[in-house]
Structure 1
């Protein structure tokens, strides 16, 4: 359990910082993409904001368990292992979720592509960190 919880907390904190840094930069450099978020679909009126802020920790613990269970399948130096880990996660989990999201909700292709890229980058960063913390 220690091999899952401690790396999960560390990676969660790193992803939290990177997530909010990238959100700030994204709004600053790609404002047209973020105008689409002024949609009632994305307004929870503050009732569930804490769930949004917990996301980096939820994903980091899930990915930490996945890493601990399957890390032996990823070979090479830590960067390659992280990239392969992120790719597996993107193909197995993100692609189907983004597909159903795009087909069922009124969101743009650019939004879905940005979510896919964001999730892929998160998983690669998590994989690189897990490869160092829990080789």
Structure 2
């Protein structure tokens, strides 16, 4: 359990930095993608902002636990194992979630594809951290 928590926290710190750096760069260089967030669907009263900021740690610890359970299925270098882990997570978890999100909420396919890509990048980064720190 110690390895799950420690590698999860390391991945969480890295994802936190990458996520907010990516958000800053995304708004700066692709502002048209973020216009959709002016929709009332995305407006918050601020009471749950902490949950938003903790997202990187929640997903990292969950993925770390998942890695601990399935790491024996991935073979090769840590880079290949991390990439494969991210791809598996994207297909098994993200694709169905993005499908139901697109079918039930008023969001564009571009937004769904961005969210899918973002989630897959997070999983690959976390997978690389896990494959390196918890082989």
Q: TM-score, normalization: structure 1? A: 0.99
RMSD between aligned residues: 0.5
Partner residue, 2:59: 59
1:1-135 superposed matches below 5 A: 1-135=1-135
Query: How many Å apart are 1:3 and its aligned residue?
Result: 1.2
Runs of 4+ in 1 over 6 A off after TM superposition: none
Equivalent residue pairs, number:
135
Q: TM-score, normalization: structure 2? A: 0.99
Gaps of 5+ in 1: none
- Counterpart CA distance in 1 for 2:91 and 2:82 is 14
Gaps of 5+ in 2: none
Q: Deviations over 1:81-109 (max 9, x none)?
A: 00100000000000000000000000011
Query: How many Å apart are 1:45 and its aligned residue?
Result: 1.5
Query: How many Å apart are 1:44 and its aligned residue?
Result: 1.1
Q: Give the 3-state SS of the residue equivalent to 1:37 in structure 2.
A: helix
